[in-house]
């Protein structure tokens, strides 16, 4: 508590929480940052969000009839013709003769049983049909983003902290949409414990997406940039 | 004196949930931190906010101080509750919290450091008039010095790592011939486990009980105790069953041990909840072992018989509030037993992580379950194997044992192996039922079992 | 004095499980009976044996005396525990048990019959010196007689069915003009519901509390009480939240009400557990309402604060054992609240049977859950809507309320509607929090809610 | 308790529990009663026996008849042509020839790995290949028996009690395998509360199976006889 004062000044302009606001936001993204509803490291968990993930599932059966039922219903609802799932414990396959087709959204490939992942597959659906834009908007998890945005390499946050696109509030952003990056290009700074940690691209290509707004808190593994090879 | 609006819980599993429950009861917001392996954990679900702080291994996440502090900064919390394990007894972490103007919910860093060093702690306790086992006050300088001391104390003696715990770096020596070899082995283990080969030697008590006193202290010099827990039922120096009160204590002995623990805390300027562990010999003599400067796994048995919420008290005193009750206000009602349900083989103790395919939580009268498990939960292989603490409370010890048997019977955890069958065996054991046991109980229990034809004979998994 | 080896539980749902838990703790085997709709119920799973006794409706199964008795015969049980509801207060059933040499766990049939008749019970209580509300000692013979009596008592009065309960056949009359119509309606309802149009009239208390005393009596004339429960939070005369102790009682009043209840039990030769229900007015006057000659839904709040196991005591005294403790041995510690989690719409109270798709049982300090629900369970439409009793215990009422809020928050029951949001609303209500409420609480609560814009405004489902 | 003595004598010969033993057992079934493993109203619930019927299913039996039934219904309802499921304990595959043939036995092949389920899959296998005979022998539940033994009408117990095949211990059985029954033929007695309740056939045909042994306790709905039309 005696350390109270000495820690109030933030290297990135002003006090904690306000520094971010002071930083330039206009260029936060090349393609409409506000639309992206990027996932916050700090997320307020509403009921709706939390339920699908945890919902301590039916106690009594390894087969988990509830999940199978839901799966089958999903399968039908989406007009699928084939479904396979396998992990260390379980393998599931469903298929239907495509004869009475006509359904539009057949492209979804649900890859998991848990409702949590169902959220992700909804996102994948968007990604597949509507194309690039949708996925990262809804999905926070790295893996899903990586697998669905076919062409993009995702640069994720290696640490927890606050994301800054420029070395100083008034400076230009390290990279913007369209910037060419090499392995050692600094793409942003993550501030943690008063330290400015530079994040390198560690890939080559052109920046196609910026998922996070300047000054925004990010958690470990959170997608920061999408890079087109 | 401050009022916490938001607390980060730098832990996982059942204790993270446990802390969240109390925060909710106090109207304090919570932030869960988690590794990538714990995305689907209940503490992540039930906290108000959650931050992923790193990869699956503890060193990448729950032990990663910069990540934890950064998570606290971006979520703007007032305080961090460290739970047990991980960073709970890291004086370095407590200092960093202090430097970052985040209240560490626990005692001051210097007190953590003092009590974390066995030799220093021993010295401080001796000065406070706390009985300690005859032995070396300082780390041993040579084998010769150690031998001389052992001869003075009289065999058997025990050699311990100064920085140790959990049974590593410990050797019992019964004759002088064994001494040299034992000391070398202990030094090697100590160096490997704790990065310090410092050892000390002390009197070895033959059939001791592990009896610990729960204390509560505020930052204004008030300190009380909430009675004892008997944690003698251990395997490989890991507690697995705890109860309160101890079947071995008289009211008079309880009062003396409690007063001793309180005196020890006062001496070192302790604040927050803490536990003073004693070795109790067959003659009713007790000796200081160590002090744990954190909430303990087995705190619920004390909560059951006192109706106190120890986590609530930790938070209140961390806010700078004085303890709301005095020693004479502490209630003691009935008897409580805790069984640690671990995801491990009940015979070999080999860890058994994996998917919980079926699950039923016992309920009804006098049953408390602290857990983060649910049907469909995957117990990750990266952390300790504790998945649930089954706690019972009843007016008498006899009914408490019957209740534990019933609760173990209706508790269903399938898909992984658990210690449930082991606990069922202990609840049937005549020595346990009579309350006649020492820290050697499990060893003797398995010997008796072997004679009777193995655990399987009594319904083991 | 006998020792029961095996008990049949003539009930279902949470209370059947509750009774099984205690039987297991006592080492007594259990037989579950069930309808075809309850094949998948937990009581069927956890009992040692199970017998299907009929079709889904209660009259085909749980109320079907020949089936229950036949099940008891083929399983060769020593005793039947009737739980609450169904056959629990059927003196006829108790007599048949007796005739079949099966011990009915409850009081003698003649005592059940006496207390089941409101007029007879009133008379007996008056003789025992128990205060009763001014009113008719006998069923009313004519409207003229009733009017004269009402005038004598003074308005407001209440007209009640002699065989009634649950609010049916009840009418409050505030002026003489209303009397004729009210009496006719009550008679019609009484005849339809209870096959008896017998009515009586008594003083109506404006803002009464429903405070009941739990008693325990053995077959040797010993009788004690375990304090009171405040069950004033009711909707449509059905209790939904109960607590112990009552916020309205002083120790002196508790002692007087307890002594009165014990005197009443002694007078009628009561044995087993029972409950004497009183109406408590705003001046601290209390009046006998009725006696329930069975275990009650809300018994857990008493168990929490006394550490007694009421079902265990029922079984012990049914075995002919004397009560093991005296009045002065009864403990009273802390405060307990129970919320009835019903499968119904929290606003309209319309039943909501169906599949429980997701389920999480709250745990941690001071939480008890009595339930037969589990994820995947289908709540059948044939029986009452109670699916779980969430009970908390804490040192103070304030912490108990905070704990209940927390437990309600982390309890997950999905797929059906439940009363959880309603309870959450009550826990936030300033009058409830202040302990200032009467049996009119729910009515007033909904009025306040309506003014504030409906239940939805505070997070209703 | 005063009623203790007056109830000791049982109308069917001796004391409760011994009357049954005294009754003739030789003719308990025409086709090997011991093979039928009839289900007891009074069942001591061993793990194996209780599982198929009782709910919170132990994961040891990762799949039971109820779930299989539900699964099959789902399969049909959703018009699937292929279904596979596998975990550490169990593997299930369902498939249907997409050609909408109206065959009844559309190859349900459940391959359970747990001993318990092995019984059931043996039963299903028998049902599929050999047809009638095998299934009902292993399966106790009424519905299962009804659905698998195509031709048999099942007479179930209308009440809980003790099953007697003859009016007195030394008398002949009311019916045997091969007996012709009419609607008003008395097929057995169920004793409950000292009362002898006659059970009528309520169907016409020939007795093909006797599922319960003389003197055995039966519960409500328990199969007693199988009648071939």
- The structural domains of chain C, with segments of one domain joined by +, span 6-105, 134-203, 209-452
The pLDDT mean for chain A works out to 59
Phi, psi of A185 (to 5 degrees): -75, 130
Residue B249: predicted pLDDT: 97
* Comparison of pLDDT for A21 and C433, the residue scoring more: C433
Q: Pick the residue with more confidence: B9 or A51?
A: B9
Does domain B6-105 bear CATH number 3.30.930.10?
Answer: no
Nearest to C358 among A51, A60, A61 (CB): A51
How far is C402 from chain A, CA to nearest CA, in Å? Answer: 20
Q: CA angle B257-B258-B259, nearest 5°?
A: 95
The pLDDT, as a whole number, for residue D72 is 65
Contacts of C329 (CB under 8 A, 6+ apart): none
Between chains, do B363 and C375 touch, taking CB under 8 Å as contact?
Answer: no
pLDDT digits (tens, 9 = 90+) for C373-412: 999 999 999 999 999 999 999 999 999 999 999 999 999 9
Work out the burial of residue B458: count CB atoms within 10 Å of its CB; fewer than 13 is exposed, 13-18 middle, 19 or more buried: middle
Residue from the list B331, B334, B368 with its beta carbon closest to the beta carbon of C365: B368
Asked if C18 and B364 come within 8 Å (Cβ–Cβ), the reply is yes
For the purposes of burial, counting CB atoms within 10 Å of the CB of B156, is it exposed (0-12), middle (13-18) or buried (19 or more)?
middle
Out of C21, C405, C409, closest to residue B365 by CB = C21
Per-window interface: D 159-218 vs C, CB < 8 A: 159-162, 192-193, 195, 217-218
pLDDT of residue C247: 97
User: Contact B51/A17, CB-based, under 8 Å?
Assistant: no
Compute the Cα dihedral for D25, D30, D35, D36 and give only its sign: negative
Check whether A33 has a pLDDT greater than 80.
no
Segment D88-92 shows an average pLDDT of 60
The pLDDT confidence band at residue B192, using thresholds 50, 70 and 90, is: confident
DSSP-assigned letters across all residues of C284-306:
S-EEEEEEE-S--TTHHHHHHHH
User: Quick one: fold of C209-452?
Assistant: D-amino Acid Aminotransferase; Chain A, domain 1 (3.30.470)
> What is residue B205's DSSP assignment?
P
Which residue on chain C is closest to A67 by alpha carbon?
A: C357
Q: Which of D62, D78, D114 to mutate to test the interface with A (most CBs of A within 10 A)?
A: D78
**CB < 8 Å to B24, chain A:** none
Tell whether A59 lies on the interface with C, counting CB pairs under 8 A: yes
Judged by CB atoms closer than 8 Å, whether chains meet at B26 and C409 is answered as no
Query: Three-state SS for B238?
Result: strand
Is the pLDDT at A25 greater than 50? The verdict is no
**Chain D partners within 8 Å of A92 (Cβ):** 84-86
Give yes or no for residue B402 having a pLDDT over 70.
yes
pLDDT of res. C154? 87
Across the interface, which of C357, C375, C412 has its CB nearest the CB of A59?
C375
Q: Which chain B residue shows the shortest CA-CA distance from A193?
A: B70
The closest CB to that of D89, out of A62, A92, A96, belongs to: A62
Task: Calculate Rg over the CA atoms of chain C.
Answer: 22
**d(C-alpha B260, C-alpha B247), whole Å:** 20
The answer to whether residues B335 and B305 touch, using CB atoms and an 8 Å cutoff, is yes
Residue B142 burial (C-beta neighbours within 10 Å; 0-12, 13-18, 19+): exposed
The model's pLDDT over A150-204, given as tens digits with 9 standing for 90+, comes to: 679 999 999 999 999 999 999 999 999 999 999 999 999 999 988 899 999 999 9
Comparing B459 with B422, the larger pLDDT belongs to B422
Mean pLDDT of C110-121: 92
According to the model, what pLDDT value does residue D7 have? 37
CB contact under 8 A, C53 and D220: yes
Judged by a CB distance cut-off of 8 A, whether residue A18 touches chain B is no
Write out the catalytic residue numbers of B. Answer: 294
Q: Look at domain C134-203 and name its CATH class.
A: alpha beta
Q: Give the residue among B175, B51, B359 at the shortest CA–CA distance from C361.
A: B359
Whether pLDDT at C416 is above 90: yes
Q: Which of D58, D84, D98 sits opposite A99 (nearest CB)?
A: D98
The DSSP string of C245-289 is: S-TT--HHHHHHHHHHHHHHHHHHT--EEEEEEEEE-TTS-EEEE
CB atoms within 10 A of CB A203: 16
Stated as kind and residue range, the H or E segment containing A51 is helix A47-54
How far apart are the two ends of chain C, measured CA to CA in Å? 52
> Which residues 392-431 on chain C approach chain A with CB closer than 8 angstroms?
412, 414
| pLDDT for position A44 | 40
Q: Is C324 on the interface with A (CB under 8 A)?
A: no
- Identify the band that residue B191 occupies on the pLDDT scale cut at 50, 70 and 90: confident
Mean pLDDT, chain D, whole residue set: 59
In chain A, which residues have their Cβ closer than 8 Å to the Cβ of B71?
41, 160, 219
Residues of D in contact with C67 (CB under 8 A): 159-160, 192, 220
pLDDT of residue A140: 33
Over the stretch D48-80, which tens digit does the pLDDT of each residue have?
233 333 333 333 334 555 666 666 666 665 666
The DSSP symbol for C383 reads S
* CB-based contact C375 B375, cutoff 8 Å: yes
Distance from CA of A40 to the nearest CA of B (A): 9
Which burial class, exposed, middle or buried, applies to D182 when counting CB atoms under 10 A from its CB (0-12, 13-18, 19+)? exposed
Record: contact A57-C414, CB cut-off 8 A: no
Model confidence over D1-26: pLDDT tens digits? 333 333 333 334 333 333 333 333 33
- State how far the Cα of B101 lies from the Cα of B83, in Å rounded to an integer: 19
Sign of the torsion formed by the C-alpha atoms of A27, A31, A32 and A37: negative
Which pLDDT band, with edges at 50, 70 and 90, does A126 fall under? very low
Measured CB to CB, residues of chain D less than 8 Å from chain A are: 55-59, 62-63, 67, 70-71, 74-75, 78-90, 98
Instruction: List the single best residue of A38, A193, A194, A218 to mutate versus B (max B Cβ within 10 A).
Output: A193
- Calpha distance D150→B17 (Å, rounded): 54
> Tell me, what's the pLDDT at A80?
58
Higher pLDDT among residues A64 and C131, named by residue:
C131
Residues B391 and B244: their CA atoms lie apart, in Å, by: 11
Q: Which of C38, C51, C59, C96 to mutate to test the interface with D (most CBs of D within 10 A)?
A: C51
pLDDT at D144 over 60: no
D: neighbours with 3+ CB pairs under 8 Å?
A, B, C
Q: What subunits make at least 3 CB pairs under 8 angstroms with C?
A: A, B, D
Parallel/antiparallel/unpaired status of strands B354-355 and B378-379? antiparallel
Q: Which of C322, C378, C326 is nearest to C353 (CA)?
A: C378
Of the residues C4, C73, C96, C372, the best mutation for testing chain D's interface (the one with the most D CB atoms within 10 Å of its CB) is C73
C349 preceded by cis ω (within 30°)? no
* Interface-testing mutation among B376, B377, B411, B416, with chain A (most A C-beta atoms within 10 A): B376
pLDDT at B460 over 50: no
Mean pLDDT of chain C: 93
CB D194 within 8 A of CB C66: no
Confidence at A49, pLDDT banded by 50, 70, 90: very low
C48 vs D contacts (CB less than 8 Å)? 44-45
Q: Do B70 and A160 touch (CB under 8 A)?
A: yes
Asked if the C-beta of A69 comes within 8 angstroms of chain C's C-beta atoms, the answer is no
Q: Do D59 and B360 touch (CB under 8 A)?
A: no
Positive or negative torsion for Cα D101, D102, D104, D109: positive
Q: Does B188 touch chain D (CB under 8 A)?
A: no
pLDDT at res. C145: 87
Could you give the CA distance from residue B319 to residue C25 in angstroms, rounded to a whole number?
43
pLDDT at position A98 is 41
């Amino acid at each position: 508590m005696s350390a109270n004062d000495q820690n109030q000044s933030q290297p990135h302009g002003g006090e904690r929480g306000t520094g971010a606001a002071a930083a330039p936001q206009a260029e936060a993204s090349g393609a409409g940052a506000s639309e992206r509803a990027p996932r916050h490291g700090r997320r307020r968990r509403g009921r709706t969000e939390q339920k699908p993930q945890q919902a301590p599932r039916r106690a009594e059966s390894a087969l988990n009839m509830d999940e199978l039922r839901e799966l089958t219903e999903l399968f039908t609802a989406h007009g699928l013709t084939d479904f396979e799932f396998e992990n260390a414990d379980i393998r599931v396959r469903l298929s239907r003769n495509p004869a009475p087709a006509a359904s539009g959204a057949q492209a979804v490939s649900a890859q998991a049983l848990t409702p949590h992942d169902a959220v992700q597959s909804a996102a994948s659906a968007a990604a597949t049909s509507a194309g690039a834009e949708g996925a990262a908007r809804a999905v926070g998890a790295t893996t899903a983003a990586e697998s669905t945005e076919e062409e993009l390499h995702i640069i994720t946050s290696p640490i927890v902290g606050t994301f800054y696109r420029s070395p100083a509030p008034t400076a230009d952003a390290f990279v913007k949409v369209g910037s060419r990056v090499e392995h050692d290009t600094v793409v942003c700074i993550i501030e943690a414990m008063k330290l400015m940690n530079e994040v390198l691209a560690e890939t080559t290509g052109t920046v196609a997406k910026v998922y996070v707004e300047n000054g925004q808190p990010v958690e470990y593994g959170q997608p920061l940039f999408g890079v087109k090879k | 004196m401050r009022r916490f609006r938001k607390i980060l819980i730098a832990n996982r599993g059942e204790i993270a949930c446990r802390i969240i429950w109390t925060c909710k009861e106090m109207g304090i917001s919570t932030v869960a931190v988690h590794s990538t392996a714990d995305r689907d954990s209940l503490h992540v679900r039930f906290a108000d906010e959650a931050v992923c702080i790193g990869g699956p291994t503890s060193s990448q996440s729950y032990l990663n101080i910069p990540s934890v502090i950064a998570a606290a900064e971006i979520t703007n919390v007032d305080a961090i509750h460290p739970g047990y394990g991980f960073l709970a007894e890291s004086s370095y972490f407590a200092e960093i919290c202090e430097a970052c103007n985040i209240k560490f919910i626990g005692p001051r860093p210097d007190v953590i450091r003092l009590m974390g060093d066995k030799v220093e702690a021993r010295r401080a306790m001796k000065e406070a008039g706390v009985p300690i086992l005859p032995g070396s006050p300082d780390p041993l300088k040579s084998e010769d010095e150690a031998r001389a001391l052992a001869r003075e104390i009289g065999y058997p003696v025990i050699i311990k790592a100064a920085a140790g715990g959990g049974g590593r770096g410990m050797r019992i020596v019964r004759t002088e011939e064994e001494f040299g070899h034992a000391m070398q082995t202990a030094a090697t283990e100590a160096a490997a486990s704790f990065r310090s080969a410092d050892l000390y030697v002390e009197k070895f008590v033959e059939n001791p009980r592990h009896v610990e006193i729960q204390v509560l202290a505020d930052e204004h010099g008030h300190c009380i105790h909430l009675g004892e827990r008997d944690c003698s039922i251990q395997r490989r120096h890991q507690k697995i069953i705890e109860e309160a009160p101890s079947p071995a204590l008289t009211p008079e002995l309880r009062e003396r041990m409690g007063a001793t623990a309180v005196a020890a805390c006062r001496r070192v300027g302790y604040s927050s909840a803490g536990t003073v562990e004693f070795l109790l010999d067959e003659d009713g003599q007790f000796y200081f072992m160590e002090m744990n400067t954190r909430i303990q796994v087995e705190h619920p048995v004390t909560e059951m018989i006192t109706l106190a919420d120890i986590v609530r008290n930790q938070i209140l005193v961390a806010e700078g509030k004085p303890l709301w009750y005095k020693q004479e206000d502490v209630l003691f009602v009935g008897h409580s037993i805790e069984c640690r349900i671990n995801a491990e083989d009940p015979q070999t103790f080999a860890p058994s992580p994996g998917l919980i395919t079926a699950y039923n939580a016992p309920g009804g009268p006098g049953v408390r379950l602290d857990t983060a498990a649910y049907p469909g939960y995957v117990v990750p292989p990266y952390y300790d194997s504790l998945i649930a603490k089954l706690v019972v409370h009843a007016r008498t010890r006899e009914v408490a044992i019957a209740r534990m048997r019933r609760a173990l019977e209706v508790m269903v955890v399938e898909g992984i192996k658990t210690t449930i069958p082991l606990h069922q065996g202990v609840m049937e054991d005549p020595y346990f039922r009579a309350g006649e046991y020492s820290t050697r109980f499990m060893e003797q229990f398995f010997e008796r079992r072997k004679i009777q034809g193995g655990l399987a004979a009594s319904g083991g998994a």
